[in-house]
């Protein structure tokens, strides 16, 4: 019994989402706007995330180097280790 209620609820939510998505697309068509189809390729998305993480690590490394140059007074005091 509870399975039937759960299935009906999930199906009802899906129908509401489909209706609102269709209404949104219909309004875009009526206003002559372009409809963009999202790119749902998980492999490309993971590559973009990995690239972003690598860029962030490189930026952090450069920031440490700049801080070391600015803090240099002839000794190792105040220097951070760069990986």
Answer yes or no: are the C-beta atoms of 79 and 71 closer than 8 Å.
yes
Question: What's the number of domains the chain is made of?
Answer: 2
pTM above 0.85, yes or no: no
Range of the domain at 81: 39-83
Tokens of 57: 């690590």
Question: Do 33 and 53 belong together in one domain?
Answer: no
Band (38; pLDDT cuts 50, 70, 90): confident
Count the helices and strands in the chain (H runs, E runs).
Answer: 2, 0
Please count the CA atoms within 13 angstroms of the CA of 13 that sit on its side-chain side.
Answer: 5
Query: What percent of the chain stands above pLDDT 90?
Result: 48
Question: Do 29 and 63 belong together in one domain?
Answer: no
Question: Do 44 and 32 belong together in one domain?
Answer: no
Band (42; pLDDT cuts 50, 70, 90): confident
Question: Do 69 and 59 belong together in one domain?
Answer: yes
């Amino acid at each position: 019994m509870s399975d039937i209620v759960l299935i009906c609820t999930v199906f009802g939510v899906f129908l509401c989402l489909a209706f609102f998505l269709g209404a949104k697309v219909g309004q875009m068509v009526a206003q002559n706007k372009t409809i963009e189809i999202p790119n749902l390729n998980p492999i490309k998305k993971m590559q973009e995330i990995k690239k972003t993480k690598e860029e962030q690590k490189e930026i952090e490394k450069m920031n440490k180097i700049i801080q070391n140059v600015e803090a240099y007074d002839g000794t190792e005091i105040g220097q951070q280790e760069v990986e």
